[in-house]
Amino acid sequence: MAGFVRAAAKEKALALLDEQSRVTLSQRDFAAFSAAINNAFAPNPALKGALAAAKRVKRV
């Protein structure tokens, strides 16, 4: 009996992991994702300020 319960739990767990590990995107979302990956990165002013502030921090 314990083997049956263990096998059933394992089967359900594998099915859940398979279901939850997939990402489904709309065409618009896929286009935005592809553009973000394929195009050059340009930091915005907030990131530039944060990087400048990080350079001013003294590290020990």
Contacts of 25 (CB under 8 A, 6+ apart): 33
Residue 22 CA from chain centroid, whole number = 11
pLDDT at residue number 56: 93
Whether the full predicted model's pTM is greater than 0.75, yes or no, is no
Domain borders along the chain are: 25-60
Q: Report whether pLDDT(41) > 90.
A: no
Q: Report whether pLDDT(1) > 90.
A: no
| 8-24 pLDDT tens trace | 999 999 999 988 998 89
Q: Look-up: residue for tokens 């944060």?
A: 50
Element (H, E) at 56: helix 45-56
